[in-house]
Structure 1
């Protein structure tokens, strides 16, 4: 909560100069607060474009809202929150200076401009806004969080890259985050149409009031109708809910995007909105769950668009029926399962099919990988090797190099199908942008293989510890944190499922990188369904890589989602330091803990390949986060959601 973002005080003459004495031609927006001008200001030694908001003396907003905005944006920072450069408080003038957002507001593009936002653009904007709101609720600190109180499309600003940023914190409230039912008795404030009915009638303000407002935003994005639309007698929410109840879901969609949305994607998106708009605040999801669900919808849509879509059948339908994997529609409890060969009886192929995966022949995969040529070798671990293969995009028939599409073929070199079964069973049901996509499998002639999407930059291990460091350009600070954010998102997803999944083998060789260095978590052959939140599951089959293994799991057989957090902490330390987990006699964790006495010791920790090209404050916070993740007692480790929020905050620290 200490000031983490420089917020300077502008002199009034600087504001006059930047706006040409408030020239009307520079007005780029206006609302209940007054007018917003586009102008150039100094930020440090640089001249930057800014949005300058001048509070109108006749505005219903006043000094309290002005100082609330400054308090919020000077304390909190996130890539999905608008940045406050500073403010001017001169006599009766109250002026706020923000970063300039070239693409205006989401409201502009939905209701005023003929922009033609695609469905994918709208979905990504929703995800960005959801991440910003989740940060406010849970990521601003251990004890304090923010209730925005005025989430609406006009307060979602769009960067030139169309990234969404939440703005306007004049009505926001700070309150504890460790009490799910926290509320503040206060005068009801907000915007009609987005107001939580429970808040309106009881005066009890909770974070779930923001969730309700976000549900209204989701409907606006889908239907392109205002929250209070004159053509709708009952308002957007009631109209949409009635239409859905009457089976007219497709009729409410904006006609411009109707043909772009897959049926499955539409149903899941609407389900998220419906849950956000439930009457009981307790039944509404947290914003963390909304983020995870929207990420899954995005992946579903991208698959439907053909980027990862493959045809074919799989033999695992029966197994999925035996141990149903929870979806957004299934809240039933599933008993904790340690997946191994004895858990399943693999039946005949004809009665156990799942159309999401492709069944492949060993001979075809052998040809696709040039007989598992060493030249095509990508990665290896204790019981498998991964090879590059080339196949036809539609049929998966082997093709020549450079023709068709590249895939990653994982070949298990042990007779026991246990690990292969686990990978196909669990990974075949996971859908998330930061989890490797399983395309197919082979169990032909007792040969066990799986086929993934191909990741052009191989695995993180390759860039941290091999000769590639001397050949390729070393990973920058920003890229390293971006990779860690991706894996934190993957863990937040699998840990947030109704029946949690524990990965059990988070390590650098299981972190795959695409051509843009977006990270995807793979290696689910040791994963298992986890215990209930906050509980441990005792197991006698301890599996994983010892250097990354949490002590309570390695020595007592107690496994939980906090076991993954420990492993992630080790990976984070490796990523920051460039040292392997077992490089020191007593291990990387103890070495890092002993060296990091204070910030002056930081250079002894950070990878020398980075030189001085990293923010000292951000690096120190990142190392501190890693050491929290590897706490000996699991209860002191953060959740995956808390890890994600902290990394996203660290990512934007520039000093």
Structure 2
């Protein structure tokens, strides 16, 4: 009976501790859903309507915007479906009940409303004493979090549009935080000294990382913060192992608190792999992108949650950019000798001169045995000497007095001179153009510099088969109009985000596809330039060739080779194109995989497509697949980098969730999108279909459930029923499943995807002796006699090593004929 009482008491105490995470009630808690006429509940919090007559807002000109578009199809948050747009500097003013540190969170999601394309907005955001953002632009969902020390009874946040632009915001949070969240006591490691004045600093949260754990959001955090997993930042997955032991976490009086970091952060950790081995001598390292010219407050969270841990054993070193930041760190000496006590240490960096910040933990000579762990990490940018967090954001003029006036006068003078010069240049340009028109000439300016040179061209242009340097030729508008019968609507063969696509016939009889930019499109000059830059460098039989472009009369027109059989999507569903057989679908997937593999590996630097989908895979007259639409493409990371940090772009349903969460792009983002295409090819249905039952709306999620149950044949396209060999379907499903792995590091390369698809085709075409060729239901016999029979390979075929698709493509030969020389009885 006594033990039962003890267990009950322990359970009650544990529940009380867990519930304490909800005890914090901020004295100031302004939550605004900008542009909305009704209150919005997000979790346990209510965002108030930002009505046009709101007393919070002081602005000479503003617009209320709304959209039905969501950042992702499954995003139920309405915060990103309304916005407040400002054409002039505008200010929100919030009353402050309790002075001290406050969080400011600004929510942004650009959408198109009327004539406002928010992805093209550029603006500054500031408070009276601090510049928060300068010439800020965003083309994907973004939450910017700042913390400042408020010393007055009100807080003004000003949005100031850049010249010829506008500002906007979707939602605002101004919330007071506990006094102990930021305290004095930070140390500088170069030079080694205390760092005074941290409490007065304005900060921007750059990273908040849950080491060894999962994504945590407002539902898991007392202060409604977001903590991201550390996988994306880790250099060398094999160097660490993860620990999860939330029950071991204890908050002590001289340590951390639930408000500093939640129990779920301290309850997980990344630890040295093979910890405790006597000869272990390496570091676990993470890498982060940061801005130059600022100092950063780095908060390290520690808690010894090892199952068999004991005091006086865990001693290790912490490094920042190869400099020793914390030497011989002994957790037990900082936590009242309580095992599992939560603790944090603040370190301030010197001025950052490299945009890569590396954090490492490693064994110390003072430890009983080699080991090190880290539970959480926060990296916060601190304001510079001008009070700015962006380097150049405008500050309140009351703080700078006469200096601001002097600079304003200088700026006005310089601006006037520039304006006069600009007007003179316009007049000269106009005069020259009039002279050219009188002489019967049109301009021949090339907007994109190819291979480091600019070009002028004559009147001839590529016929689609000429050498790659003919891609530089610019086609006059009159010839494009003539080729498309003056853009006759009957010639429209497709409509995309850039604009309509017309079928055309050039003077020499070459059939072309002309993609004409729509001025009201969300895509524009950047995509136009990217497309020309990318395709001018590539020539591959599985990439659609660019024949030319036209930029006259404010037009943006791209001219491609014509693909007679349209998109792969149109052969799967929703059109009058005939359905493809399984072999034809496999070969189309193989062709697209070859094109993507070439993009990732066939050039000096990897190119990431960023918009892989069935609508961007085209089929020629022989049903050979080619990847198209490179307007969103981006060059990959440098050799010493793991990813490219960039705003999220892509198509709903195909978008890599890891890229969406981290805004860190790798070639594995293309692999994820291609995995969705594979299931789309197999099931012949849209990737997002809101008319279906909830569990079926998202194709990737739905198909993965059946794949993991081993019953993928239950959901395949009815026209393929009984026509796919079981082994071929198994290999195809396994390949798609690997592509859709949650983390990019677990996904295969496009080379490996290509190898497996070719193997799936071989399994489909293999004939068991004595079996009719059209009987696809029988199992496949032993293929091993074909192994290593290289002497029979067609001499006209260029065979690449396993996993690598040779740039000199083999599409003109039978895939099965070539692959039969390479196949083994098991694929990758």
Of structures 1 and 2, the one scoring higher in RCO (CA 8 A, sep 6+) is 1
- Which has more helix, going by share of residues? 1
The alignment's TM-score, normalised by the length of structure 1, stands at 0.49
- Which has more strand, going by share of residues? 2
The alignment's TM-score, normalised by the length of structure 2, stands at 0.39
